[in-house]
């Protein structure tokens, strides 16, 4: 089994020597190559890497036509000769000593092994609480929006190992900024393992991923949702919800006008009929491929989602109005959040 360690670099000259030294020590029991993909760094990282190739097994790719972390990693996949690929940063925030543990997980049957900050034993060094919060929030959004990765604790880690087959022949989008997430959605694999590690401090130089990162991430999640067909579900769920409004209004009108029922009480059966309408269409259309639970469970869970949504809507409305927000705006926010909650509960539980 040959290992290819893929290292994207941009102005990492000062980190390379220690990085290679520690990789070499960690992989002394393996046949390996290091594939450096450098984007023509002004500090001439590529040149220094080339020089170090006299001492270590290094292949240097100097790109001048293209830029970007994800596309660099994808290029690395194309150039790598190993049976197992390891992807890691050059700045030593990813300790090379963890690589053997990743390889162990692969040898034990995993197709992808992630060095994870968010499994027991893992962590981050010197992050303020709000950085942790943003990181965890971003991951939560990704896991909720993409049910396929909902069990992965750190799907945005930049440190992982995978079998060559996972990405061979797979069209990966380099615009996608979190390459691991791209691989987890589009790759060919069965088992994923997570190995704890502590995301350390940068040795030298500075981070290149700042400012626009969060917005880019949301765009990436959105694109992957589209690719997965999750966006289609969201649209269908919305259309079904709209049809429910007509059912609710129609029956309410009929009960009051033709049957002379009390206006307040008549809305209870009218609402229930709308819920049943929505359930039926979602079951036959939106989630038709996901009927894994028995019908009575799906029906119960759908009602719980509806009730939860109503409570969220009302609580948010009451809270925001109390805080002084204009009531119609407060209601819109309540409706929007209730919608998201209902979609997620149904996607992950009812048809989970
Ligand atoms: N070739 C190339 N081109 N390499 C790049 C580029 C680029 O445009 N931008 C960054 N790199 C290289 C850096 O030189 C470094 O080796 C690695 O990619 C990570 O870049 P950093 O700038 O150190 O990223 P970070 O520490 O902010 O983010 C890391 O942690 C995140 C999790 O919090 C990365 O590993 C992310 O992938 C990860 O999601
Ligand atoms: Mn870094």
Average pLDDT over every residue of 68-93: 97
- How far does the centroid of ligand 1 lie from the alpha carbon of residue 47, in Å? 19
Nearest CA to ligand 1 atom 14: 9
Average pLDDT over every residue of 83-108: 98
Assess whether the C-beta atom of 283 lies below 6 angstroms from ligand 1: no
Question: In which residue are the tokens 């499994």 written?
Answer: 119
Which tens digits make up the pLDDT trace of 299-312? 999 999 999 999 99
- Split at pLDDT 50, 70, 90, the class of 250 is very high
Nearest CA to ligand 1 atom 35: 158
Of the listed ranges 120-134, 173-187, 195-209, 227-241, the least confidently predicted one is: 195-209
pLDDT at residue 214, rounded to an integer: 82
pLDDT at residue 206, rounded to an integer: 79
Q: What is the DSSP string of 4-35?
A: EEEEEESS-HHHHHHHHHHHHHHTTTSEEEEE
Average pLDDT over every residue of 9-18: 96
Which tens digits make up the pLDDT trace of 199-227? 999 888 877 766 677 888 999 999 999 99
Domain range list for the chain: 2-228, 230-350
- In this structure, which residues have their CB less than 5 angstroms from ion ligand 2? 91, 93
Quick check: 342 pLDDT over 80? yes
Q: What is the DSSP string of 74-135?
A: HHHHHH--SSEEEE--SSSSS-GGGHHHHHHHHHTT-SEEEEESSSTT-EESS--HHHHHHH
Share of the chain above pLDDT 70, in %: 99
Nearest CA to ligand 1 atom 19: 89
- Split at pLDDT 50, 70, 90, the class of 76 is very high
CATH 3.90.550.10 is held by the domain 2-228: yes
pLDDT at residue 207, rounded to an integer: 79
């Amino acid at each position: 089994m040959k290992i290819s360690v893929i290292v994207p670099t941009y102005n990492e000259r000062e980190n390379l020597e220690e990085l290679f030294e520690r990789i070499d020590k960690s992989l002394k029991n393996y046949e390996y190559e290091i594939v450096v993909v450098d984007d023509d760094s002004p500090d001439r990282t590529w040149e220094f890497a080339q020089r170090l190739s006299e001492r270590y097994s290094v292949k240097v790719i100097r790109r001048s036509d293209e830029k970007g972390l994800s596309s660099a990693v994808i290029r690395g996949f194309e150039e790598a000769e190993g049976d197992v690929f390891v992807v890691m940063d050059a700045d030593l925030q990813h300790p090379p000593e963890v690589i053997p543990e990743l390889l162990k997980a692969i040898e034990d049957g995993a197709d992808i092994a992630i060095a994870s900050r968010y499994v027991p034993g893992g962590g981050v060094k010197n992050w303020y609480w709000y950085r942790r919060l943003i990181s965890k929030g971003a991951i939560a959004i990704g896991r909720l929006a993409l049910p396929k990765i909902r069990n992965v604790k750190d799907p945005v880690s930049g440190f992982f190992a995978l079998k060559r087959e996972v990405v061979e022949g797979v069209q990966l989008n380099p615009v996608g900024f979190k390459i691991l997430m791209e691989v987890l959605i589009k790759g060919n694999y069965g088992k994923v393992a997570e190995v704890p590690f502590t995301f350390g401090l940068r040795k030298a130089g500075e981070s290149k991923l700042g400012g626009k990162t969060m917005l880019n991430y949301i765009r990436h999640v959105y694109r992957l949702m589209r690719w997965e067909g999750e966006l289609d579900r969201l649209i269908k769920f919305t259309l079904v919800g709209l049809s429910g409004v007509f059912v609710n209004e129609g029956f309410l009108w009929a009960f009051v006008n033709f049957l002379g029922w009390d206006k307040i009480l008549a809305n209870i059966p009218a609402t229930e009929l709308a819920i049943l309408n929505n359930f039926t269409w979602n079951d036959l259309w939106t989630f038709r491929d996901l009927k894994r639970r028995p019908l009575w469970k799906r029906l119960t869970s759908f009602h719980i989602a509806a009730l939860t949504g109503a409570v969220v809507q009302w609580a948010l409305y009451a809270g925001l109005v109390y805080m002084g927000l204009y009531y119609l705006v407060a209601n819109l926010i309540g409706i929007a959040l209730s919608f998201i909650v209902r979609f997620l509960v149904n996607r992950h539980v009812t048809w989970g």
